[in-house]
Chain A
């Protein structure tokens, strides 16, 4: 599996037509796109995307607890959709998605993502947050 590469590290997604991602990384890249896509914005797949961004702009994320809550739902939504639309011939499929709020202030929230494949490959990191949500 090969795909055109997207760089998420430059302050926003950026396409690199001369670069490609391969293997499970294509799935991870798709997962990142999915998380950043507003649910309902795709007329072909109305369930594609998450409500993470919409929840934030609607004022639904006011603290880490609500941020974790929204992130968990977004992770589950992304996993469910990607699993359901996975190609039949892909050997290394997506097994788990974890989204964790890393930074939160009144203007922004940074989320760290981790994608685990069916073969045990782990891509990304998850913040080590306390379990009481503080």
Chain B
């Protein structure tokens, strides 16, 4: 690449100011005085006019050109949209491994649905076609994808996945895919496969797919280069964030929580006094807050341990990591209120690996398992049972319930990828989790407006909803000012108050089961006695939207390991829960 410095980098002569030229001339004089101290270089002198004036012009232009060249070498400037030679920067970026590609590596999560609870195998070369868009499975390990029946323990560092029962006859698992997208792939779109898999009912997009690389202008490429150039691994906070956002373009927020952070409760001190390293990779994708449901058969226990119980108790496997449970309904009659007191239903949270992530520290990760306990609903008038349990051939009783809940479909895929031996940080226990949500049941914006003006509340509602969905610490923390701005642009004169009914939900579980305690299906009463109730922090105004709390028993045997701070806070807010009150 030939460099035409004058044409490419020299400024127009008219851009050189007298101040710049004088400054350059004075520096040239000071420099040349070292060798010619007697020579008259003043303005009006022969040497000054014939040589120094021209030299000053050229040197000033050259300094500006070199500044521009150095600016092109500094990708921060390019990322900010300042580029003088696109050819040079493009070549520089190519040397850093960042270049424009004609095909975008788009990404999304699909749900495979099967009609039987058995073992399946999917070849890694399988192609999923959404119209004219072709995707392949994003697999962290070598080999194909092994699908195991419901209940099979999932093992790390493998392409294994366990089926989850979503209805009485359907079983599913979710998996991330990547490929080329020329037309949008929307949530619910069906894919066709290039090979036949017996038992496969459907493959559908769980959420809208995202374009891989957001764009290809030099500024965006330079920004990406700056992010990936210094590191893209799990070895430190910045590089961990880069790795996740680079590999999963639809991640909207990523917060690596490391040993020593306030929000880290998994790292511990071993017998030698050495702190073991831990990394919580908190992620949030564009599919965050996707509504999902699953139907499960939960055993019924009229008695247990010789005592009356009259309760449905059983483990529940969700389709993905559940972020919030919206409802639990009896399949036979969804109108039956299963939770008349609000606390009738109890969900026990149990860590699948208490050594890695005890109690609440496993929440919103693949290590959290759940037991759902639903008291038999009774007719308030007669006291009769409202559900007639089905009976299996072995005499055990059960009923089917549909659980509706929110998920982030990408989380399991990120966890699988991070678990890959090529990616996993050496000596650091890495756990992919969702953020701890502040569940906002209602958000009332109290505003005033100028007489005669109209406030476009629907626009404001959509924007506030989108904003709250995008918030994720620590980079993008909640700020009232954003709400004020949105309301101002919607037409409000001022926002006087933001009233909220919200609570911090450390886990979807109402109780944490300590390691080694009796499970509820063995002895519900003993399990409940041994369990630690989940703390609920209520929030009544937006001033409390950045809560800071750590379990005061942390470090003791009674610890619940609950923690929330700037690095792991985010929000669940539905648009319909936002209300607007005009103050007169």
Complex interface: chain B residues within 8 A of A2 (CB): 38-40
Name which residue of chain B comes closest to A30, CB basis: B44
Cβ-defined contact, B53 with A87, below 8 A: no
Contact mask for chain A residues 55-98; partner B; CB cutoff 8 A; 1 contact, 0 none:
00000000000000000000000000110011100000000000
Cβ-defined contact, A44 with B39, below 8 A: no
Task: Name, among B16, B43, B45, the residue most crowded by chain A CB atoms within 10 Å (CB to CB).
Answer: B43
Contact mask for chain B residues 30-68; partner A; CB cutoff 8 A; 1 contact, 0 none:
000000001111111111010001001100000000000
Cβ-defined contact, B42 with A30, below 8 A: yes
Name which residue of chain B comes closest to A49, CB basis: B44
Query: Interface with B: A31-39, A103-111, A116-124, A125-133, which one?
Result: A31-39
Complex interface: chain A residues within 8 A of B41 (CB): 87
Expressed in whole angstroms, the Cα–Cα distance for A122 and B455 within the complex equals 83
Cβ-defined contact, B46 with A45, below 8 A: no
Name which residue of chain A comes closest to B19, CB basis: A44
Closest-CB distance, B308 to chain A (whole angstroms)? 101
The residue from B38, B39, B40, B53 contacting A42, defined by CB atoms under 8 A apart? B53
Complex interface: chain A residues within 8 A of B355 (CB): none
Complex interface: chain B residues within 8 A of A34 (CB): 43-44
The residue from A5, A30, A46, A81 contacting B18, defined by CB atoms under 8 A apart? A46
Closest-CB distance, B128 to chain A (whole angstroms)? 67
Chain A residues with a Cβ under 8 A of chain B: 1-6, 15, 26, 29-31, 33-34, 37, 42-46, 48, 81-82, 85-87
Cβ-defined contact, B46 with A15, below 8 A: yes
Expressed in whole angstroms, the Cα–Cα distance for A4 and B41 within the complex equals 10
Complex interface: chain A residues within 8 A of B57 (CB): 43-44
B21 within 8 A of A: yes
Closest-CB distance, B89 to chain A (whole angstroms)? 32
Name which residue of chain B comes closest to A26, CB basis: B40
B567 within 8 A of A: no
Complex interface: chain A residues within 8 A of B49 (CB): 33
Closest-CB distance, A30 to chain B (whole angstroms)? 4
Cβ-defined contact, A30 with B40, below 8 A: yes
Expressed in whole angstroms, the Cα–Cα distance for A73 and B112 within the complex equals 93
User: Can you pick out 24 interface pairs between chain A and chain B where the beta carbons lie within 8 Å of each other?
Assistant: A1-B40, A2-B40, A4-B46, A5-B46, A6-B46, A26-B45, A29-B45, A30-B43, A30-B44, A31-B44, A33-B44, A33-B45, A37-B44, A42-B43, A42-B53, A43-B16, A43-B57, A44-B21, A44-B43, A44-B56, A45-B18, A48-B44, A82-B43, A85-B42
Expressed in whole angstroms, the Cα–Cα distance for A34 and B46 within the complex equals 11
B22 within 8 A of A: yes
Chain B residues with a Cβ under 8 A of chain A: 16, 18, 21-22, 25, 38-47, 49, 53, 56-57
Name which residue of chain B comes closest to A34, CB basis: B44
Complex interface: chain B residues within 8 A of A81 (CB): 43
Expressed in whole angstroms, the Cα–Cα distance for A15 and B47 within the complex equals 11
Name which residue of chain B comes closest to A36, CB basis: B44
Expressed in whole angstroms, the Cα–Cα distance for A82 and B21 within the complex equals 18
Expressed in whole angstroms, the Cα–Cα distance for A1 and B43 within the complex equals 14
Complex interface: chain A residues within 8 A of B38 (CB): 1-2
Expressed in whole angstroms, the Cα–Cα distance for A86 and B39 within the complex equals 13
Expressed in whole angstroms, the Cα–Cα distance for A34 and B95 within the complex equals 54
Task: Name, among B21, B25, B46, the residue most crowded by chain A CB atoms within 10 Å (CB to CB).
Answer: B46
Cβ-defined contact, B22 with A3, below 8 A: no
Q: Knowing that A26-B45, A48-B44, A87-B42 are A-B contacts, what are 13 other residue pairs whose CB atoms are under 8 Å apart, sorted by A's residue number?
A: A1-B38, A3-B40, A3-B46, A4-B46, A15-B46, A26-B40, A29-B45, A33-B49, A43-B18, A44-B53, A46-B18, A82-B44, A86-B42
Expressed in whole angstroms, the Cα–Cα distance for A3 and B44 within the complex equals 11
Expressed in whole angstroms, the Cα–Cα distance for A5 and B43 within the complex equals 15
Closest-CB distance, B65 to chain A (whole angstroms)? 18
Closest-CB distance, A78 to chain B (whole angstroms)? 9
Expressed in whole angstroms, the Cα–Cα distance for A6 and B18 within the complex equals 27
Closest-CB distance, B275 to chain A (whole angstroms)? 63
Closest-CB distance, A35 to chain B (whole angstroms)? 9
Expressed in whole angstroms, the Cα–Cα distance for A11 and B16 within the complex equals 35
Expressed in whole angstroms, the Cα–Cα distance for A82 and B45 within the complex equals 11
The residue from B16, B43, B53 contacting A85, defined by CB atoms under 8 A apart? B43
Closest-CB distance, A42 to chain B (whole angstroms)? 7
Name which residue of chain A comes closest to B36, CB basis: A2
Question: With contacts A3-B47, A4-B47, A33-B49 known, is A45 near B42, CB below 8 A?
Answer: no
Expressed in whole angstroms, the Cα–Cα distance for A43 and B16 within the complex equals 9
Name which residue of chain A comes closest to B37, CB basis: A89
Expressed in whole angstroms, the Cα–Cα distance for A33 and B46 within the complex equals 9
Task: Name, among A4, A34, A82, the residue most crowded by chain B CB atoms within 10 Å (CB to CB).
Answer: A4
Expressed in whole angstroms, the Cα–Cα distance for A85 and B38 within the complex equals 16
Closest 9 A/B residue pairs (Cβ): A3-B40, A30-B44, A4-B46, A44-B21, A33-B44, A26-B40, A34-B44, A2-B38, A85-B43
Closest-CB distance, A91 to chain B (whole angstroms)? 13
Expressed in whole angstroms, the Cα–Cα distance for A41 and B283 within the complex equals 65
Complex interface: chain B residues within 8 A of A85 (CB): 42-43
Expressed in whole angstroms, the Cα–Cα distance for A63 and B355 within the complex equals 106
Complex interface: chain A residues within 8 A of B45 (CB): 3-4, 26, 29-30, 33
Complex interface: chain B residues within 8 A of A6 (CB): 46
Closest-CB distance, B64 to chain A (whole angstroms)? 15
Expressed in whole angstroms, the Cα–Cα distance for A98 and B47 within the complex equals 25
Cβ-defined contact, A48 with B46, below 8 A: no
Complex interface: chain A residues within 8 A of B21 (CB): 43-44
Task: Name, among A42, A48, A82, the residue most crowded by chain B CB atoms within 10 Å (CB to CB).
Answer: A42
Closest-CB distance, A102 to chain B (whole angstroms)? 22
The residue from A15, A33, A45 contacting B22, defined by CB atoms under 8 A apart? A45
